[in-house]
């Protein structure tokens, strides 16, 4: 199901993985899409041949830059029908070599960057509501938000924080007629997951992820999660009593190599 009409959309994290697949679909469908990512050259390549693309090069962890992007969006679009916050990163934490800098690097785009973008997008979503639309705020979290996993302290916590924040914000925005959708992908083949050094069951292609997301957004679903055979299992495991979750998690802990344990 396509998104209704030709919408004004802001997409962050647009040049890689799921974001790139979404950008190509949205542009091909004729929507007016503001594309944000850090690389201006990658954005230009992505938007080539699409007069309906607006380039907004941006590091979402830069609060002042995000505020300026919001001002430019207001000038160009007037309002927003959909803010699709997809920018993010992933690094895995080894408890034996605890790294606070790593945690901060992950939280910067995944949580704080999303909050900065929400701050910039909300006035524009409210304008669309005044115009009679049904605006939607959506963000890409992760199935890792459902269940604590080894080495995912930083990534999982940043995504769980984002999910909690938006689920709470959804309640406050209901009275304004602004909907909120959360996206919880399982494993998707992207440049980020290509670096993973562990098995990724039921990993799907970025185009498949984009299709699942667009179908969910068209219905304004509260929780868009896929592939469902995987995400439903992860959800179920997240509901287990803490002692069982702990025992399950211990089975997934990677044992250190000799090089890692030798001083």
Could you say which residues of the chain have pLDDT below 70? Answer: 1-2, 4, 254-263
- Structure confidence at residue 27 (pLDDT): 97
Which are the contacts of 72, defined by CB distance < 8 A and separation ≥ 6?
56
Would 2 be classed as within a structural domain?
Answer: no
The residue with tokens 């439903």 is 232
Residue 255, phi then psi, degrees to nearest 5: -75, 140
At 175 the three-state DSSP class reads helix
- Structure confidence at residue 254 (pLDDT): 66
Would 43 be classed as within a structural domain?
Answer: yes
- Structure confidence at residue 261 (pLDDT): 39
Provide the domain count of the chain: 1
Dihedral angle of Cα 191, 218, 178, 162, to the nearest 10 degrees: -30
Instruction: Return the CATH number at 36.
Output: 3.40.50.720
Supply the range of the domain harboring residue 101: 8-261
Whether the model pTM is above 0.85: yes
Express each pLDDT in 161-209 by its tens digit: 999 999 999 999 999 999 999 999 998 888 877 787 777 788 889 999 9
> One of 116, 146, 155, 246 is an active-site residue; which one?
155
146 is annotated as an active-site residue: no
- Structure confidence at residue 26 (pLDDT): 97
The count of other CB atoms within 10 Å of the CB of residue 162 is 26
- Structure confidence at residue 263 (pLDDT): 38
At 33 the three-state DSSP class reads strand
- Structure confidence at residue 201 (pLDDT): 80
Would 1 be classed as within a structural domain?
Answer: no
Instruction: Round to whole Å and give the CA distance between 152 and 91.
Output: 8
In the chain, % of residues over pLDDT 70: 95
- Structure confidence at residue 194 (pLDDT): 76
Would 240 be classed as within a structural domain?
Answer: yes
Would 69 be classed as within a structural domain?
Answer: yes
- Structure confidence at residue 192 (pLDDT): 77
Would 108 be classed as within a structural domain?
Answer: yes
Would 3 be classed as within a structural domain?
Answer: no
- Which is nearest to 47 in space by CA: 66, 30, 24? 24
Would 105 be classed as within a structural domain?
Answer: yes
- Which is nearest to 66 in space by CA: 8, 123, 7, 115? 115
**Contact of 216 with 228, CB cutoff 8 Å:** no
């Amino acid at each position: 199901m396509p998104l209704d009409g030709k919408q004004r959309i802001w997409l962050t994290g647009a040049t890689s993985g799921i974001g790139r697949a979404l950008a190509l679909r949205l542009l091909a469908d004729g929507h007016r899409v503001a594309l944000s990512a850090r690389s201006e050259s990658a954005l230009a390549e992505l938007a080539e041949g699409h007069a309906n693309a607006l380039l907004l090069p941006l590091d979402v962890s830069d609060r002042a830059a995000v505020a300026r992007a919001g001002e430019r969006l207001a000038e160009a679009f007037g309002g927003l029908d959909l803010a699709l916050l997809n920018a993010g990163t992933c690094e895995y934490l080894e408890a034996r070599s605890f790294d606070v800098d790593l945690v901060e690097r992950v939280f910067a785009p995944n949580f704080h960057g999303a909050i900065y973008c929400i701050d910039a997008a909300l006035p524009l979503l409210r304008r669309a509501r005044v115009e009679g639309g049904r605006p939607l705020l959506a963000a890409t979290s992760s199935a890792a938000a459902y269940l604590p996993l080894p080495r995912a302290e930083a990534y999982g916590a940043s995504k769980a924080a984002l999910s909690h924040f938006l689920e709470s914000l959804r309640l406050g925005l209901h009275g304004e007629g602004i909907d909120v959708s959360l996206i919880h992908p399982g494993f998707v083949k992207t440049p980020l997951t290509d670096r993973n050094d562990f098995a990724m069951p039921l990993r799907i292609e970025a185009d498949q992820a984009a299709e699942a997301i667009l179908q969910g957004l068209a219905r304004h679903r509260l929780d868009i999660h896929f592939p469902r055979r995987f995400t439903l299992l992860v959800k179920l495991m997240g509901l287990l009593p803490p002692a069982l979750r702990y025992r399950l998690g211990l089975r997934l802990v990677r044992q250190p190599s000799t090089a890692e344990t030798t001083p």
